[in-house]
Amino acid sequence: MTEIALIRHGSTAWNKEKRSQGQTDNPLDQEGREQAVLLAARLAEEQWDAIYASDLQRASETARIIGERLGIQEIHLDPRLREMGGGQVEGTTEEERIAKWGSDWSALDLGKELPDAGAARGTEILEEIIRQHPNARVIVVSHGAVLRNTLRALVPEQDISVKLGNTSITRMVHRDQTWQCELYNCSTHLEQGEGNL
């Protein structure tokens, strides 16, 4: 059995402005770093064997903060864990999109990466991880949309209608050739730090 903790990166300035980030390489903001510290403290209560992350700053920095707390020096950066490409939508807010393309903007082909494409690359890297780390416990730091689409592909019965929160944990278990989701979008570690954020 291999267990994987899927983690969405900490918050960024664009998250707060509700701007589509896609593959734009934004750093964490101060709150995002504090969220990552709280997440790392939670993960440190268990034993982990490896950390993989998107090569975009907001995910790789989240992963480095976790790795420092866990004593895992090597972070395996992989571009397949990047967020879904947003095309012309990247950098815009909902209001800006409506002003530019109308209220049906999401139905237009604006160069966005298709959900199945994101799911395919997410599935590919997770399948590779379980081959390279059999019976291990691995942390994967990535992005909301690509993680949800990957989960949709691997565990079709899982309800993914709720978007993943910053630094949320989704636990996946692979046993007997099948994937199961044992925990979805859990951010209880942030509640403990609310007085400090």
| Enzyme catalytic residues | 9, 83
Strand partners, 174: 2, 179
Using DSSP's 3-state secondary structure scheme, residue 3 falls into: strand
CA–CA separation, 39 vs 18, rounded Å? 22
For residue 138, what are the CA distances in angstroms to 16, 67, 172? 29, 12, 10
Which of the 8 DSSP states describes residue 22? T
Task: At 81, list the tokens.
Answer: 């864990």
β-sheet bridge partners, residue 151: none
d(Cα 167, Cα 138) in Å, to the nearest integer? 15
SS3 51: strand
Do residues 167 and 142 touch, judged by C-beta distance below 8 A? no
How many other β-carbons are positioned within 10 Å of the β-carbon of residue 123? Answer: 17
